[in-house]
Amino acid sequence: MKLKRLILLFLTTIQLSAFAQVTEKIKQEVQKQIQPALDLCTYLHQNPELSFQEFETSKKMAAILREVGFDVTENFGGNSVVGVLKNGDGPVVMLRTDMDALPVEEKTGFDFASTKTSKNTTGEEVHVMHACGHDIHMSVWTGAVRTLAALKNEWKGTLLVIAQQAEEFSGGAGAAIEAGLFQRFPRPDYAMAFHINPELESGTIGLVSGPVFAGVKTAEITVFGKGGHGAYPEKCIDPVVIASRIVLDLQTIVSREISPLEPVVVTVGSIHGGTRPNIIPNKVKLELTLRYYSDEAIEKVIAAIKRISKSAAQMAGMPDDQLPNVNVLPAVTPPVLNNADLSEKIHDFASEIIGDKNIINPAPAMVGEDFGKYGRTPENIPICLIWLGSTEPELMKKLISKGERPAPLHSPLLHPDYQKTIETGISVMTNNVVGLMNR
């Protein structure tokens, strides 16, 4: 028994030494990839494209994949690009990046700030900016695939990568899945992605096991009334008053009907009704955003919205055939639920290359991200979305000392530490892939 333990210890020591050597090779190769990735990021930042319009961006991603030896499929489910690199027998690991920018006018003052404008889906000319870090995501993604291609002798398996359209519209992941992503290409054993986080310092990552991004649904409530002259309210049934009662009562869903341990958001983002101050309208429309982590919770929320809306109208005397219409839109962004086992593996791999002290465990966020759709397919693929710290440490300290915080995602003032953020992302993602392939 003692001999067996000694042999096991000896073999483990050899294995750890081999892993350390591979990690060192990754660090060396990443240094070669930083400048090309930075150059790409500058280009992408100056040439952003809106959701469903990522025509030139997708061509750029496809060209880089071909350059390093991937089999490439363009215009997949829209503007998405899929690449496959087979390198012997082993696991299939998927890496996703998003490509689209936002209709935001940049105010950073960077030398490479975006001055682009484009027409949105309604034909309106708008400014365009990478205000959500997708330029960094693409630069990390391409840096990682280049590093992995250069180190093919250090891993065995298949690398499936997708540069995805329209994440901001929550349409890109669904379109790729519907086009047969997991039928036409090798089915992944694991899927990973990054998202920058200005609340974390560059050089760090944020890793959550379980819920990391919320699911998102949109609901519309059309409230009917009996319109008339504003001077004769007794002859009318005012839908503005009904809508106001609904708005207030909706606040009790989270505070009184959902467990305090279950994160849920019910926000009324818009109210539209009426044309003149002296006219009681016939209807009012409310638009809501709903955020959640569990399917059970969101179904309970939707049922409560319908009940509250119906009751408010009945209290006002509206007949049963004119009660509010509650419409939950079919487009949905599911929650991003990181696989616990995969998250644990990534923690181990990331600590080897950036150190355990640089791995943060942030609270889950209530914003949405359509990466979660890849984990909700019948294939039941383990997924992990990793936060990538993006604010320069000295800037973070300076801001905190003044009682301020970094500009958030979607801000025209978003100010990432590009070099360190990209270097960290390439290093961590490359080591994650090599670790999953080899261990």
* Structural domain spans, the chain: 22-213+335-438, 215-328
User: Are the beta carbons of 156 and 437 closer than 8 angstroms?
Assistant: yes
**pLDDT tens series, the chain, 439 aa:** 666 666 666 555 556 566 778 899 999 999 999 999 999 999 999 999 999 999 999 999 999 999 999 999 999 999 999 999 999 999 999 999 999 999 999 999 999 999 999 999 889 999 999 999 999 999 999 999 999 999 999 999 999 999 999 999 988 999 999 999 999 999 999 999 999 999 999 999 999 999 999 999 999 999 999 999 999 999 999 999 999 999 999 999 999 999 999 999 999 999 999 999 999 999 999 999 999 999 999 999 999 999 999 999 999 999 999 999 999 998 779 999 999 999 999 999 999 999 999 999 999 999 999 999 999 989 899 999 999 999 999 999 999 999 999 999 999 999 999 999 999 999 999 999 999 999 7
- Catalytic one of 98, 100, 201, 370: 98
Respond yes or no: is residue 320 known to be catalytic. Answer: no
Respond yes or no: is residue 168 known to be catalytic. Answer: yes
Could you say which DSSP state residue 214 is in? -
* pTM across the whole model: 0.92
What class has domain 215-328? alpha beta
Residue 181 is encoded by which pair of tokens?
């992503």
- Catalytic one of 54, 106, 154, 168: 168
Write phi, then psi, for 420 (nearest 5 degrees): -65, -40
Residue 313 is encoded by which pair of tokens?
């109208």
> Is 215-328 in the same CATH topology as 22-213+335-438?
no
Of the candidate CATH numbers 3.20.20.140, 3.40.50.150, 3.40.630.10, 3.40.50.11930, the domain formed by 22-213+335-438 belongs to 3.40.630.10
Q: Residue 174: which residues within 8 A CB-CB, separation 6 or more?
A: 370, 373
Burial zone of 271 (CB within 10 Å; 0-12 exposed, 13-18 middle, 19+ buried)? middle
